[in-house]
Amino acid sequence: MIVIYHNSSCITRVESEEDKTIVFDRKKTIAFGLMQVAIQFPESTLVWCHQECQEQIDIAVVPEILHHQKMMLSYNPTDCNYLGSKIGYVEESPFINVNKKVTYPTWQMSSLVGVIHATVLIAFKDKIKLDSDFDYYLNSIAKIGMSLGLLCYSEPKLLVKAQIKVTSSASVFTLFKFVKQHYKTRWIFLLLLNILLYERRFLFFAFIFALFFKNRNRCSISLASIPVQSNRHIVERATIDVIIPTIGRKQYLYDVLKDLAKQTHLPINVIIVEQNPQEGSVSELDYLHTEKWPFEIKHTFTHQAGACNARNLALNQVESEWVFLNDDDNRFESDLIEKVFENIKKYGVKSVTTSYLQPNELLQNSIISQSGIFGSGNSFLKTELLKQVSFNESLEFGYGEDTDFGLQLRNLGIDIIYFPNLNILHLKAPMGGFRIKPTFVWSNEKIQPKPSPTIMYVKQKYNVREQVMGYKTTLFFKFFKFQTIKNPFRYLIYYKKQWKKSVYWVNILKNKS
């Protein structure tokens, strides 16, 4: 391990555990010096630390938190990150509103203190400019690297104390430059528009300044050769239960059970919650009792419809070390669960989501990476987490319950890793014959809320204000072409009323939750 101390403008000293002689140029940028050290010691873990934090950094924790090579961690205990909350105008992901109390997935890095393996830095050699602004360089590496499979986190364990006075923040010129270099070009136009709409500032010169920079995502960078083998011991017994909510899909559920019965790594329990809202109805799943299954089946029948309620009923019955959140119209190969545990052990993670393609759909993302979403029909997680998370029944029949569940996990310090090599086919089977269209309390409103109040609820709960406002703008453009009102000014007036109505119903949902 090598520790590089700096004063924000240059490296002040370099230390190593083995007292190695380390050559670096004090007159060059911090990024340049860091790359020099990485090239000299390509198998080393590199730690950077602002000299004001040298008494607060916890070097001993580094081997624990950097538990495999394809990771990048940093920490800034203050509420404000380098790029500030305005970056939310162009990114809706869960990586913007960082929970500083836990290990939280984010590409937003800090020059204050951090750690990376030399092999990762070397992969960016001659591909990304060694910026004089160290914070900009770190954020650039993480932003590009995250999409390439680099796992990036805000990690509070890096500091013993969080008494920090040194902070660094980007100017609006730097913000526009970063957006131009790391997002599609249209986003600098939207950034300009959003700041004008919601802050009454017309940052024309910052916008023009950004146009002179090239996008960095076009560089041919690959992290595929960097090995991954976590030193964490995540799996103890490797037992797993499967939960399946179902309603009116008797044959499809039967096929799912057959796929589970063929698994090379069998589940212990399959927990089925069957719903039928029709009064006097009884279970139609006769094969649960007439056929023999190589696992225990726990069957609950309820007249209360709703996936959130059904999944919560099932989660309360889980007994094994791990749980597979499955659906009643999935299909998968016989080695799915076996492969899941192989990947869990390799990456040392507690929450996994798979590829979830529909028939004839092509895989778009083939890189193992941090997921911005969570799927309630194709995810695996450690059962101990169920003590602190559940599906929010205030969102029943709406949209957003999966997103809410995933964000509950992230705010506990649990990342969700996407494995494209784990395949679950989602048939998107037709709804059962006795399903009824849900009626919401806002269904009879003359002006229908937009977005759905359940979606607005999740966005207001977890996102920064700028993300919500940026979403408001993009939603306006997205739905304009589908509206019968073709006059943009008339539609804008109507849209504002729809948005206001959505906010109104969100406040009611908050009181119920």
Written in H, E and C, the secondary structure of 282-306 is: CCCCCHHHHCCCCCEEEEEEECCCC
Half-sphere exposure of 109 (CA within 13 A, CB side): 29
> What is the rounded distance in angstroms from the CA atom of residue 3 to the CA atom of residue 180?
32
The first and second tokens of residue 301, run together, are: 């029948």
pLDDT at 180: 98
pLDDT tens for 92-132 read: 999 999 999 999 999 999 999 999 999 999 999 999 999 99
Is the pLDDT score of 23 beyond 80? no
For residue 41, CA distances in Å to 22, 46, 113, 230 come to 9, 9, 20, 21
Cβ-proximal residues to 87 (8 Å cutoff; 6+ apart), any chain: 96, 108, 175, 178, 179, 466
The per-residue pLDDT of the chain, averaged, comes to 94
> What is the rounded distance in angstroms from the CA atom of residue 166 to the CA atom of residue 228?
34
Identity at 197, one-letter amino acid code? L
The first and second tokens of residue 228, run together, are: 């991954």
pLDDT at 162: 74
For residue 283, CA distances in Å to 226, 242, 252, 278 come to 51, 20, 15, 11
pLDDT at 434: 47
pLDDT tens for 263-298 read: 999 999 999 999 999 888 999 999 999 999 999 999
Identity at 8, one-letter amino acid code? S
pLDDT at 254: 98
**Cβ atoms of residues 27 and 86 within 8 Å:** no
The Cβ of residue 318 has, within 10 Å, a number of other Cβ atoms equal to 20
Quick check: helix, strand or coil at residue 245? strand
Sign of the dihedral defined by the CA atoms of residues 260, 262, 264, 267, in that order: positive
What percent of the chain lies above the pLDDT cut of 70?
A: 98
What percent of the chain lies above the pLDDT cut of 90?
A: 87
pLDDT at 443: 87
The pTM (predicted TM-score) of the whole model is: 0.94
- Specify the CATH number for 240-426; select among 3.40.50.620, 3.40.190.150, 3.90.550.10, 3.40.1260.10: 3.90.550.10
Sort 19 into a burial class: Cβ within 10 Å, 0-12 / 13-18 / 19+. exposed
Class of domain 2-218: alpha beta
* Local structure of residue 431 (DSSP, 8 states): P
Quick check: helix, strand or coil at residue 433? coil
Identity at 416, one-letter amino acid code? I
Measured between its terminal Cα atoms, the distance across the chain in Å is 48
Least confident of 46-55, 261-270, 424-433, 484-493: 424-433
**Cβ atoms of residues 330 and 245 within 8 Å:** no
* Chain-centroid distance, C-alpha 71: 15
Is the pLDDT score of 509 beyond 90? no
The DSSP line for 320-368 is SSEEEE--TTEE--TTHHHHHHHHHHHHT-SEEEEEEEPTTPPP---S-
pLDDT at 462: 97
Residues of the chain with CATH 3.90.550.10: 240-426
Per-residue pLDDT, averaged over 146-156, amounts to: 97
pLDDT at 433: 46
pLDDT tens for 186-236 read: 999 999 999 999 999 999 999 999 999 999 988 889 999 999 999 999 999
Per-residue pLDDT band for 317 (boundaries 50, 70, 90) equals very high
**Cβ atoms of residues 289 and 275 within 8 Å:** no
Strand 322-325 and strand 240-246: the pairing is parallel
> What is the rounded distance in angstroms from the CA atom of residue 8 to the CA atom of residue 462?
32
Identity at 398, one-letter amino acid code? G
pLDDT at 219: 80
Q: Residue 326: which of 437, 239, 425 has the closest Cα?
A: 425
Cβ-proximal residues to 476 (8 Å cutoff; 6+ apart), any chain: 492, 495
The DSSP line for 53-70 is GTTTB-GGGHHHHS-SSS
> What is the rounded distance in angstroms from the CA atom of residue 369 to the CA atom of residue 293?
35
> What is the rounded distance in angstroms from the CA atom of residue 447 to the CA atom of residue 502?
10
pLDDT at 513: 65
Is the pLDDT score of 90 beyond 60? yes
Q: For the CA atoms of 18, 24, 26, 27, what is the dihedral angle to 10 degrees?
A: -170
Per-residue pLDDT band for 486 (boundaries 50, 70, 90) equals confident
Q: Sheet holding 104-105: strands in order across?
A: 11-16, 2-6, 45-50, 113-117, 71-74, 151-154, 104-105
pLDDT tens for 6-15 read: 999 999 999 9
